Amino acid sequence: MNSKIIDGKELAAKIRGEIKLRAEAFKAKRGRSVGLAVVLAGDDPASKIYVRNKIAACEEASIRSYSYDFPEEVSEDAVTELIDALNKDTNVDGILVQLPLPKHINEKCVLERISPCKDVDGFHAVNAGNLLLGNKCLAACTPQGCIELIRSTGVTIEGKNAVVIGRSNIVGKPMAVLLLQNNATVTVAHSKTVDLKSITLRADILVAAVGIKEFVTGDMIKSGAVVIDVGMNRHDGKLYGDVNFEEAKIKAGFITPVPGGVGPMTIAMLLRNTVTAAENA
Ligand code: GUN
């Protein structure tokens, strides 16, 4: 079987177009732009690229971005003071603190300082908890993007065996919750899982979010499966997924490429959460 490649760039562009219309309608009604504050601390080159892409996407979607760059040595107090000010700022609907933060800063304390109403990454305990309970909330962006990518294939999620490899708070755990909400039968595998291959071979939907270059090989994939590759592993200046694409595309029914699959969708979902936060304010 030769897979259909799921074009995340094309789907993200379509969704960004819809968000732009919502952002313009918000401005017409409320007399101000939707606003996103983007906070970057330190010199991580990958983070700088991600932040630049997020700011450019805001501009294109008629969302005003406010950029705050701190040096590596910034104190935790300086970051939390900024967050306190942004929480009160009525022009700011969303606050994004790019991760990872410098090692001396307690990431958890910083993320918990963001008002849950402005937590457009969906990382705050209140949003993560509400997601688990099935309540209205701002859900994590990458898992939301993965759900949209799966839906775009026309394959129904309900009743399917879905396997998520990875249990991070940012991707694995919220991904499992969203798949469960869509009535999949969900298995979460991780570094301590025994006989992973026997589990992945049963996956009609396989989401790889382990952070290890080409960890999922062709022999681990069920014929015709939908394979979503969340990996962004940089090696020698090139980007690799968590899935061996060349092997997987022979087995899978649908597969996301890296780059051009999940990455653009994460940004589109960030913009969607930001407009939703503005409309809710
Ligand atoms: N670092 C890597 N991915 C993300 C993300 O989705 N949001 C934030 N804030 N930081 C990240």
Q: Is 181 a catalytic residue?
A: no
Q: With bands split at pLDDT 50, 70 and 90, how would you rate the model's confidence at 134?
A: very high
Same topology for domains 31-115 and 140-262, yes or no? yes
Residue 7 CA to ligand 1 centre (angstroms) = 21
Residue 61's pLDDT band, with cuts at 50, 70 and 90, is very high
Residue spans of the domains in the chain: they are 31-115, 140-262
Contacts of 239 (CB under 8 A, 6+ apart): 232, 233, 258, 259
Query: Is the per-residue pLDDT at 1 higher than 80?
Result: no
- 13 pLDDT exceeds 80? yes
Q: What is the pLDDT of residue 137?
A: 98
State in Å: Cα 176 to ligand 1 middle.
18
Q: Is 139 in the pocket of ligand 1 (CB under 6 A)?
A: no
Q: Is 144 a catalytic residue?
A: no
Take residue 166 and report the two structure tokens written for it. Answer: 């990875």
pLDDT of 124 reads 98
- In tens, the pLDDT along 14-49 reads 999 999 999 999 999 999 999 999 999 999 999 999
**Average pLDDT of every residue of the chain:** 97
In CATH, what number does 140-262 get? 3.40.50.720
> Which of 119, 121, 204, 242 is flagged as catalytic?
121
Q: Is 144 in the pocket of ligand 1 (CB under 6 A)?
A: no
Peptide bond into 264 cis (omega under 30): no
pLDDT at 2: 79
Query: Residue 266 CA: which ligand 1 atom is closest?
Result: 6
CA distance 87 to 116: 9
Q: Is 219 a catalytic residue?
A: no
- The confidence score (pLDDT) of residue 3 equals 85
What pLDDT digit, counting tens, does each position of 174-191 carry?
A: 999 999 999 999 999 999
pLDDT at res. 192: 95
- 140 Cα nearest atom in ligand 1: 6
| The CATH number of domain 31-115 is 3.40.50.10860 | yes
Q: pLDDT tens across 75-129, in order?
A: 999 999 999 999 999 999 999 999 999 999 999 999 999 999 999 999 999 999 9
Q: Give residue 98 CA to ligand 1 midpoint distance, Å.
A: 5
Residue 221 banded pLDDT, cuts 50, 70, 90: very high
* Phi, psi dihedral angles at 173 (to 5 degrees): -65, -50
Per the listing, tokens 């394959």 go with 155
Tell me which residue of 84, 90, 91, 144 sits closest to 114, measured CA to CA: 84
Tell me the C-alpha distance between 175 and 202, whole Å. Answer: 18
Task: Give me ligand 1 centre to Cα 138, in Å.
Answer: 15
